[in-house]
Amino acid sequence: MNAGILDFERKILELETKLDELRSLSKLQDTDFSSEIRKMHKKLNTLKRDTFSKLNRWQRTQLARHPARPYALDYIREIVPDFIELHGDRAFGDGPSIVAGFGTMDERSVMFIGIHKGRDVKEKMYRNFGMPHPEGYRKALRCMRLAEKFGHPIITLLDTPGAYPGIGAEERGQAEAIAHNLKDMASITVPIISVVTGEGGSGGALALGVGNRVLMLENSVYSVISPEGCAAILWKDQTKVEEAAEAMALTSRDMHANGLVDEVVREPVGGAHRDPVLAAHILRRALRRNLVELERLSKGELVKQRRAKFRKMGTFMEQPA
């Protein structure tokens, strides 16, 4: 856990190191430090709770982007160990920023589709840092259709800075690919659960996010533009990221309070990266519960519920002020 320690994590990690030292010391010297250990343990827990309940929206964004944060494949492999990945949009390419495939969850087949950022430099390059090209979105839709054909539910995991802004992406219709997914996801007749696991980067995330249920992990964010982009355009100052993050109300709690997502999924204290296995287990439980509820709905009801949910989004005034 030495890669990319965030400022507000440093104190906690220091205290944890001290605690570990004290524990090994007590073993080595055969002295009783148990009361000191207990005190320090208590102090650590308070510090953790304090730190993580008081994070501002920009710190929350940093946590959502934490380099050690579990990525889509980490969750998928933990939740469905028999995951079998499928490739290609059958038109141009594979789009490896997005992974898709079948897996077995509680004896039912599920189509998992996730945006995967990549861990080491080589994988990050291969995954294009989780910024999909159009073929990734088209592959995702092809796999959703596949799940629909066999009546299997779909789970999408969203974690992207955004759809890739590049020459090839524009040439191959980035906008069309996203738009097409938005429209077709509205008509799919199997349950869809979408989970923002890290960064919900605008249209590039929403293109996989038209679910019957939309969940957000506690420390994930979802926004129309990145705080950096927003600061650059509205403040004309790239450094105003804290202001931009605050203004956009992009945290899981904000999104839930604004009625734009259905549920916030708890993370291990300190964030999912502090205990990825536990994070996956908590997520699995939330997915299971939602799946069971959605499986009671007919095909028609699923489509209707999904459309009605997004239909309601947006606040406006109808009368002249």
Give the C-alpha separation, 189 to 202, whole Å.
Answer: 25
Residue whose CB is less far from other proteins, 76 or 214 = 214
Q: What is the DSSP string of 81-133?
A: TT-EEE---SSS---TTEEEEEEEETTEEEEEEEE---SSHHHHHHTGGG---
Smallest gap from Cβ 311 to other proteins, in A, equals 6
Smallest gap from Cβ 16 to other proteins, in A, equals 35
- Examine residue 321 and tell whether it contacts other proteins (CB under 8 A): yes
Residue choice 64, 115, 147, 163 for contact with other proteins (CB under 8 A):
163
Binding residue count for other proteins, defined by CB under 8 A: 59
Strands 213-217 and 154-160: unpaired
Residue whose CB is less far from other proteins, 79 or 177 = 177
Residue choice 111, 115, 195, 250 for contact with other proteins (CB under 8 A):
250
Smallest gap from Cβ 12 to other proteins, in A, equals 30
- Examine residue 145 and tell whether it contacts other proteins (CB under 8 A): no
**Residues in CB range of 134: below 8 A, 6 or more apart:** 89, 92, 95, 169, 172, 173, 174, 176, 177
Other CB atoms within a 10 A radius of the CB of residue 303 amount to 17
Give the C-alpha separation, 94 to 151, whole Å.
Answer: 24
Smallest gap from Cβ 243 to other proteins, in A, equals 7
- Examine residue 80 and tell whether it contacts other proteins (CB under 8 A): no
Smallest gap from Cβ 30 to other proteins, in A, equals 57
Considering only residues 195 to 234 of the shown chain, the ones binding other proteins according to CB under 8 A are 202-203, 206-207, 209-210, 222-225, 229-230, 233-234
Residue whose CB is less far from other proteins, 121 or 317 = 317
**Residues in CB range of 24: below 8 A, 6 or more apart:** none
Give the C-alpha separation, 234 to 40, whole Å.
Answer: 45
8-state DSSP, 218: T
Smallest gap from Cβ 237 to other proteins, in A, equals 9
- Is 169:95 a contact under the CB 8 Å cutoff? no
Q: What is the DSSP string of 9-27?
A: HHHHHHHHHHHHHHHHHHH
Positions that interact with other proteins (CB under 8 A): 163-167, 169-176, 178-180, 182-184, 186-187, 202-203, 206-207, 209-210, 222-225, 229-230, 233-236, 243-244, 247-250, 255, 258, 260, 306-307, 310-311, 313-321
